[in-house]
């Protein structure tokens, strides 16, 4: 009987068959414990305790760095947001003594130098996986090109980049029936080239010493950026006329400005040389003061005449 009990305990302690999860950097992944419910205790660990749930107490968080991005999902699952490469590896879910181990593979995709390149440049697309368990998990990595063909390798080098490389590239990671895809879009730009003017030897007139030029030897007049040469000449002449008009307008404006300043200076000078007029007030002449009473002068005495005697 004891042997049977011990055997049952050992079987209960053994880890149940785990599951492999695949997620990309920055994604959100939900890990399932492997049981639908628990009675007393549920714990999630990743080398260190992440979350603990007990029926008679509040949930607690452990010392793992994942605890800040982890939360309970459903009855026994755990959701991890903003997945990092360091989150890869083994996760343990213990529910009432039943232990279940799962593994998380984290995928990161990079394009060097960038997702926008020019024709003729070099570029590389790499799809890396981090399982956290060296030598145990070996996922299959493939690249699907825009034309639908598949290259079974984690890194694709484009030396040089062709116009056919433009479009959606899909990184495919698979392991034990689990699949993960990550798509990157390559933008391939065509470098504009300057058209080359080619002389047509067949159209040359050696008798009169005149040579006619053509593009590609087709006998057509010279074209630059899709326009005939005389159109470019007309555009150039029109642009020259516009520039001359602008210069004339600027010169006339400055000339008128100088004349105006000169006129103002002359007017100011004339005003400064004009004699000043002062205001003269008209005042009434004061009335003569009445002469005060003066003593009348006595008339001079008459000269005495001698008395005539009879």
143, pLDDT greater than 90: yes
What tokens appear for 142 in the block? Answer: 């493939």
User: Using one digit for the tens of pLDDT, what is the confidence trace for 48-99?
Assistant: 999 999 988 888 999 999 999 999 999 999 999 999 999 999 999 999 989 9
Model pTM score: 0.57
User: How is 98-145 classified by DSSP, letter by letter?
Assistant: EEEEEEEEEEEEEEES-SEEETT--EEEEEEEE-SSTTT---EEEEE-
Residue 303 has a pLDDT of 62
C-alpha span between 69 and 50 (Å, rounded): 10
Q: Give the number of other Cβ atoms within 10 Å of residue 61's Cβ.
A: 14
C-alpha span between 154 and 159 (Å, rounded): 16
108, pLDDT greater than 70: yes
Beta carbons of 115 and 184 less than 8 angstroms apart: yes
Q: Say what percent of the chain tops pLDDT 70.
A: 70
Q: Is 301 helix (H, G, I), strand (E, B) or coil?
A: coil
Q: Which of 237, 268, 104 is nearest to 176 (CA)?
A: 104
Q: What is the DSSP letter of 210?
A: B
214, pLDDT greater than 60: no
Categorize the per-residue pLDDT at 236 as very low, low, confident or very high, splitting at 50, 70 and 90: confident
C-alpha span between 139 and 111 (Å, rounded): 21
Token pair 């699949």 in the structure block, residue = 179
User: Using one digit for the tens of pLDDT, what is the confidence trace for 238-295?
Assistant: 888 999 999 999 999 888 888 888 888 887 787 777 666 655 555 555 555 555 555 5
Residue 257 has a pLDDT of 86
Question: Which residues neighbour 28 within 8 Å (Cβ) at sequence distance 6 or greater?
Answer: 79, 80, 81, 82, 83
Residue 288 has a pLDDT of 55
Tell me the average pLDDT across 165-182: 93
């Amino acid at each position: 009987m004891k042997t049977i009990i011990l055997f049952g305990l050992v079987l209960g302690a053994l880890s149940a068959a785990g599951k492999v999860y695949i997620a990309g950097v920055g994604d959100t992944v939900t890990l399932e414990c492997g049981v639908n419910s628990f009675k007393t205790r549920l714990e999630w660990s990743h080398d260190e305790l992440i979350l603990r749930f007990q029926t008679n107490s509040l949930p607690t968080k452990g010392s793992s760095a994942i605890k800040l991005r982890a939360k309970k999902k459903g009855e026994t699952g755990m959701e991890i947001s903003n997945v990092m490469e360091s989150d890869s590896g083994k996760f343990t879910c213990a529910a009432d003594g039943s232990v279940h181990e799962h593994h998380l593979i984290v995928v990161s995709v990079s394009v060097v130098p960038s997702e926008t390149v020019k024709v003729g440049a070099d570029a590389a697309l790499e799809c890396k996986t981090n399982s956290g368990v060296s030598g145990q998990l070996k996922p299959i990595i493939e690249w699907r090109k825009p034309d639908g063909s598949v290259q079974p390798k984690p890194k694709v080098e484009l030396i040089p980049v062709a116009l056919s490389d433009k479009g959606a590239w899909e990184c495919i990671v698979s392991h034990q029936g689990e699949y993960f895809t990550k798509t990157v879009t390559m933008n391939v730009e065509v470098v504009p080239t300057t058209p080359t003017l080619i002389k047509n030897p067949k159209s040359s007139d050696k008798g009169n010493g005149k040579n006619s030029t053509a593009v590609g030897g087709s006998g057509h007049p010279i074209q630059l950026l899709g326009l005939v040469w005389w159109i470019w000449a007309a555009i150039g002449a029109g642009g020259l006329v516009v520039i001359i008009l602008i210069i004339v307008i600027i010169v006339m404006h400055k000339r008128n400005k100088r004349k105006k300043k000169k006129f103002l200076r002359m007017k100011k000078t004339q005003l400064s040389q004009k004699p000043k007029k002062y205001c003269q007030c008209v005042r009434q002449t004061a009335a003569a003061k009445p002469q005060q009473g003066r003593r009348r002068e006595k008339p001079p005495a008459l000269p005495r005449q001698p008395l005539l005697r009879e």
